[in-house]
Amino acid sequence: MSIDAAIQAIRERKPRRVVVMTGAGVSADSGIPTFRGPDGLWRNFRPEELATPEAFRRDPLLVWEWYEWRRGLIRDAQPNAAHEAIARLPDALVVTQNVDGLHTRAGSRDVVELHGNIFHVSCVREGNPRMHAEAFPDLPPRCECGALLRPGVVWFGEALPEDAMPRAYAALQRADLLLVIGTSGVVYPAAGLARAYDGLSIEVNPDTSLGSACTFLVPARAAEATPRIIDVILEVQS
Ligand code: OAD
């Protein structure tokens, strides 16, 4: 399906309240590897083998080496044209599965980070979540109390931040357009959001093999298609 049909629908419906849901694909054009597919593998491990409480208990050094590698990539990366276009939407809620913080760096003000933030850490004994964006001199890093620090992200089997899904669902109830950008849509509960929405929705993903829960599927890279879609939204809103 071409982008033209999606753009035509925006011109007809003139959506005012927009929710944008993103996954790793929106940051692929910033050079950050996605999770699934060949690029997602690190030293032959799958993310599902590393992003779990069990993996951390078994081998905190291995898990931290993976996170420090990703933190370094993200630190050096810049928001791309898709993040920047999304940030131009006034009053849109951005619901992201990404932990890279690039939507906020691009200027989006209302961002729900469903899976936390990779530059946050907390103590496994004391909790006490805090920001720590710099590289750690020694891995695995430890809290002043001596216990291990862990990345401030949601691992498989863990609960999402308490207010994340309620905020996303509340915004979807009022929305008249949902944009879904760069997610394989296989990780729940995030994947349930797009499936629960029955208004006008547009997905951007170069891989069409999984099909789409959205009204329109635009087979293109995020940095290429998102600015074009958002230009039209802003045009009909003005
Ligand atoms: P995935 O790696 O599962 O999927 C990325 C999607 O982005 C795929 O469908 C790709 O086709 C698409 N894609 C690749 N390049 C793109 C581009 N340039 N523009 C647009 N789309 C592109 O990532 P997520 O769906 O975000 O969770 O994964 C969901 C969750 O699984 C992650 O948040 C993480 C992971 O394990 C946790 O760590 C809990």
What are the tens digits of pLDDT across the range 120-176? 999 999 999 999 999 999 999 999 999 999 999 999 999 999 999 999 999 999 999
pLDDT in the model for residue 2: 83
- The atom of ligand 1 lying closest to the CA of 35 is 2
Could you tell me the CA-to-CA distances from 143 to 69, 111, 147 in Å, in that order? 20, 28, 6
pLDDT in the model for residue 225: 98
Q: Taking the mean position of all CA atoms in its chain, how far away is CA 190?
A: 10
User: What pTM value is reported for the model?
Assistant: 0.96
Task: Give me 79's structure tokens.
Answer: 């928001």
pLDDT in the model for residue 1: 67
Catalytic positions are: 115
Q: Which residues contact ligand 1 via a Cβ below 6 A? A: 23-25, 28-29, 34-36, 40, 47, 51, 97, 115, 154, 156, 182-184, 187, 204-207, 221-222
Looking at ligand 1, which residue's alpha carbon is closest to its atom 26? 23
pLDDT in the model for residue 155: 97
pLDDT in the model for residue 12: 98
Q: Taking the mean position of all CA atoms in its chain, how far away is CA 238?
A: 28
Residues of the chain with pLDDT under 70: 1
**How far is ligand 1, taken at its centre, from the CA of residue 182, in Å?**
6
**How far is ligand 1, taken at its centre, from the CA of residue 78, in Å?**
18
